[in-house]
Structure 1
């Protein structure tokens, strides 16, 4: 960036462990729209999921972000650690500067139901999806420098319930925290919204599930990570600043 160029705002996007997911698409899109971008990933989570670890994903995303003239910072972070959010915001502040837009796209998601959910799985879902989100919002708000009205929090949520109990319950709690942030952080110049992206296949759907969801959607297709990234980029823009305190469904009409 030229010394005489205006500073780019900084976005922090969590959960960018794979180049094909919503967080990675969001990081690339925000970089193209003028943000410097920090992102998190956690390879141990991907390693225990069906899709596995994508080798070189962080390097590839870093290169994609910088290709738009943006600065990039990838940080591996286990957000189940209650000290991780403060360390993360401190690292981003030191390397890129204060964060203007906080996009919470990380998650713990392991299917189980009311009768078979293990206690440690329940606790980890809430630690990652709920507690970490609250701590990230708190640390972000305490560090937010302004200008007033430019701050953005976007949290990715879900309406899953049956047979996905700890994930759905922890995302429901995240919704309430996000609505509280919209009300409590307005005086700091920060808006907050939760976004439900609907059926987006980033590698977790079986062929049968993908077919059934396509058939249940009026547009006859699944969502893409880019669909979600475009809406997040709008919410992060000056034009999206009046949208606040909303639970937004962007799901192709599935609901």
Structure 2
């Protein structure tokens, strides 16, 4: 019986690459998305063409009632072996000009969304005494980035939560880690000055979603059974 991986925010970009890679690894996928139905369906088709099952779950990770309504019936039937918290949101701007709404929304999606999804899943993982949780953080949460006080705060919080949760569940053979992508070729780069950014990256290029997915695949694999509470940076050397 194939194991299940739940991937949030998986209709495009890094999340889509992670879902497809885990399907290639043999997982059936529970694919969460919020609005991009056509994108989620395209990823689902790719996964079924690989020969794995894909269940689409439309909910907003920042809304606890929405999460409960969607996940509870699924968790009553089965328990994922792997949970990848990838859903994220940016609302960039200098803090002096940032609205309370933009501050709160970014923290709700990136940090509270982690709590809303992880709590019901890890509670059930404890019963099975096994599981992998991988949180998609960011280099922004490690170094700080001008114009991203809200996003940096959320991702730094996610790294801290990763470390604490890892300690709480280690005795039940549940491993909790984070990956921290740097500049990755997704829509989040569309408005950034790459001509200024790339010279700062030691490898001289931005990364790909597949390179992030490969790291998540490793952390969910039998090759990573003695790794927990860690943050794996995938940033081309821009921060060490």
Give the alignment's TM-score, normalised by structure 2. Answer: 0.91
In structure 2, the partner of 1:67 is 49
For residues 208 and 140 of structure 1, do their structure 2 counterparts lie closer, same or farther at Cα, with a shift above 3 Å needed?
closer
Change (3 A) 1:141 1:217: same
Q: Secondary structure at the match of 1:153?
A: strand
Q: Secondary structure at the match of 2:19?
A: helix
Gaps of 5+ in 1: 1-6, 44-52
Q: Per-residue deviation at 1:190?
A: 0.7
How far 1:133 sits from its partner (Å)?
0.4
Shift of 1:100: 0.7
Q: 4+ residue stretches of structure 1 with deviation over 6 A?
A: none
Equivalent residue, structure 2, for 1:155 = 135
**1:99 paired to 2:76:** no
Structure 2 residue 123 is matched with structure 1 residue 142:
yes
Q: Whose helix proportion is higher, 1 or 2?
A: 2
1:208–1:60: structure 2 CA closer, same or farther, 3 Å change rule?
closer
Q: Secondary structure at the match of 2:139?
A: coil
Report how far residue 198 of structure 1 moved: 0.9
Cα 1:139–1:147 shift into 2, 3 Å: closer
Shift of 1:138: 1.4
Residue 9 of structure 2 contacts residue 88 of structure 2 at CA under 8 Å; is this kept in 1? yes
**Is contact 2:135–2:177 with CA below 8 Å preserved after alignment?**
yes
Pairs within 5 Å for 1:155-194:
155-160=135-140, 161=144, 162-194=146-178
- What does residue 11 of structure 1 align with? 5
1:24 and 1:214 map into 2 onto residues whose CA distance is 24
| CA offset digits 1:64-85 (Å, max 9, x no partner) | 1111221101111112212233
Contact 1:38 1:92 in 2 (8 A): no
Seen in structure 2, the aligned counterparts of structure 1 residues 99 and 78 have a Cα distance that, compared at 3 Å, is same
Partner of 1:121: 102
Q: Is the 8 A contact 1:201 1:210 kept in 2?
A: no
Please state whether the residue corresponding to 1:192 is helix, strand or coil: strand
Note the alpha carbon deviations across 1:47-103, whole angstroms, 9 max, x for none. xxxxxx6x62111111111112211011111122122333333243357x2111000
Distance of 2:4 and 2:109 partners within structure 1: 23
Q: Secondary structure at the match of 1:204?
A: helix
TM-score (norm 1): 0.86
Structure 2 unaligned blocks of 5 or more? none
Check conservation: 1:201, 1:223, Cα contact below 8 A. yes
Give the Å deviation of 1:108. 1.8
